[in-house]
Chain A
Amino acid sequence: MSSSSYCLPGQPIPLPRNGPVPQLGGGIYVRDSELRASLVGIPQQEGPVLSISRVRPRPPAINSVVLGSVTRLSPLQATLSISVVDGVPLPAGEEFTGVIRSQDVRATEKDRVKIGDSFRGGDVVRGVVISLGDARSYFVTTARNDLGVVFAVSEAGKTMVPVSWQSMRCPETGRLEKRKCAKPE
């Protein structure tokens, strides 16, 4: 079997003849010390990782980068509707619910965080999943420079631009609004 041929779930994958044993990525499992495919696709080796990749919507896991919009605010937490997981958009209507607790908003001065000064309803937030959470929601953190609000609309209805990591400016009225901004790439 050549390395460029399709595998089916359950089909054994031959190990590369020379070189070290690869690490297993997605779409591959071991059973009775034999590598087998669990997805339809071509096994590909990237560096030390052998995997069958397939771009499709998947549920969030720990360390996935997610994008979501803020649906609800309370003094203790902000609720997110997660619509993109690891760069793959989820089908409409199949969003996952995430929660940013006040202690997960930023890394410093955690006890002085005010949720209302960090997020507003409708903001699009980039975060990282830190825990599968409880039955209802995934726990998301924005405590990193590149995480936080990436898109927000001002009270005047215009898209705001970030001016510091804690504030955004409305281009129309020039007023500052408080947000936990993500550092632009």
Chain B
Amino acid sequence: MALDRRRINGPEESFPPIFDSDALQWKVGDARKDRSPADIRPIFLQPGLISQANGSAYIETAKTKIACAVYGPRQSKNTAYSEMGRLNVEVKFTPFSCIRRRAPMRDAEDRSIAVAIHQALVSSVRLELLPKSTIDIFVTIIESDGLDGCVASGSVAASTALADAGIELLGLVTSCAASVVGKEIWLDPTEEEGRLSKGTLVLSCMPALKKVTSVWQTGEMKVAEALGCMDACQEKCTEIHSVVAQALLESAKI
């Protein structure tokens, strides 16, 4: 891997200490640790934390911590004339966000998350009102606990930040992940649980309009399981929507 000489580089190879209690002693058929299969981690959501951005949001679900900033609409530079606005999503991992140190260079992972978040949001934004303009969304993953959780929490944070920025939306987007572990469906999987699972699905929807904006599935999953995941996620999205609504209303009233 190429070294970036302009930065202070950490040691090339470093490993976190592994403690005995850390290793998940889980076998197929065991119950889920810490919470029941249909529980999601508690969400803390705060709009408007980044003062220089037009809109922003910070979301924390247990060990997943994401900050999101929205800039614009600004004039699209170096692009052809377009009647519709453009939505630009960039995802960045902090070097200390994962268990292994993440070099501050873009790899394929953050771009695939950016595409997933863009897909989740793009149909909710009224881009037809912003000809020739671009909205930039910057998602910074401060701490990551599972990629699927990052996509889900990132989409929720980005939609909250868009609403905070006063950009016209058809509805608020909420998102939830589910994975198939053994024969059960576990909602909002952590990184460890994600490794145990056969397949994972992230569903994003606008609960106010009862519309699904994106479904992102990885791994192996039967049709019935996928449908079960989608139903479970959609139900949770409605609950997450009330969290987002409360956070936005509280910040609007101040």
Contact of B245 among A8, A26, A97 (CB under 8 A): A8
Which B residues touch A94, using CB under 8 A?
71-72, 74-75
Contact in complex: A8, B166 (CB < 8 Å): no
- In the complex, the answer to whether A9 meets B249 with C-beta atoms within 8 Å is no
* Interface presence of A135 (CB below 8 A): yes
Interface size class of B (residues with CB under 8 A): 20 to 34
Say yes or no: is B169 at the interface (Cβ < 8 Å to chain A): yes
Q: Does A166 contact B (CB under 8 A)?
A: no
Interface stretch, picked from B124-132, B146-154, B187-195, is B124-132
**Contact A135–B168 (Cβ < 8 Å):** no
Say whether chain A's binding surface is mostly helix, strand, loop, or mixed: loop
Query: Chain A, 11-53, contact with B by CB distance < 8 Å: what is the 0/1 string?
Result: 1000000000000001101010000101111000000000000
Query: Smallest distance from the beta carbon of B208 to chain A beta carbons, Å?
Result: 3
B252:A9 contact, CB within 8 angstroms: no
C-alpha spacing A140/B253, complex, angstroms: 38
A72 interface hit (Cβ, 8 Å): no
Contact of A9 among B72, B73, B171 (CB under 8 A): B171
Top 6 A-B residue pairs of the complex, sorted by shortest distance between their CB atoms: A10-B171, A10-B208, A9-B169, A38-B168, A135-B81, A56-B166
Name the residue on A nearest B168 (C-beta): A38
Binding site for A on B (CB under 8 A): 54, 71-76, 79-81, 124, 126, 130-133, 163-166, 168-172, 206-209, 245, 248-249, 252-253
Contacts of B73 in A (CB 8 A): 58-59
Contact across chains for A31 and B170 when beta carbons are under 8 A apart: yes
Chain A residues near B164 (CB, 8 Å)? Answer: 40
Residue of B nearest to A134 (CB): B81
State the A residues within 8 Å of B (CB): 6, 8-11, 26-27, 29, 31, 36, 38-41, 54, 56-59, 91, 94-97, 132, 134-135, 138
Contact B166 A40 (CB under 8 A): yes
Give the Cβ gap from B73 to chain A, nearest Cβ, in Å: 5
Contact partner, B132, options A6, A41, A59, A91, Cβ 8 Å: A59
A9/B81 in contact, CB under 8 A: no
Give me 11 other A-B pairs in contact (C-beta within 8 A), A26-B168, A29-B126, A94-B71 excluded. A6-B249, A8-B249, A9-B170, A11-B208, A31-B170, A39-B169, A56-B54, A56-B166, A58-B73, A59-B132, A132-B131
Closest Cβ neighbor of A41 among chain B residues: B252
Q: Which of B75, B131, B165, B248 contacts A97 (CB 8 A)?
A: B75
- Residues of chain B with a CB closer than 8 A to A58's CB: 73
29 contacts between A and B (CB under 8 A): A9-B124, A9-B163, A9-B169, A9-B170, A9-B171, A10-B169, A10-B170, A10-B171, A10-B172, A10-B208, A26-B168, A36-B209, A38-B168, A39-B163, A39-B168, A39-B169, A40-B166, A40-B248, A40-B249, A56-B54, A56-B166, A59-B74, A59-B75, A59-B130, A59-B133, A91-B54, A94-B71, A94-B74, A132-B81
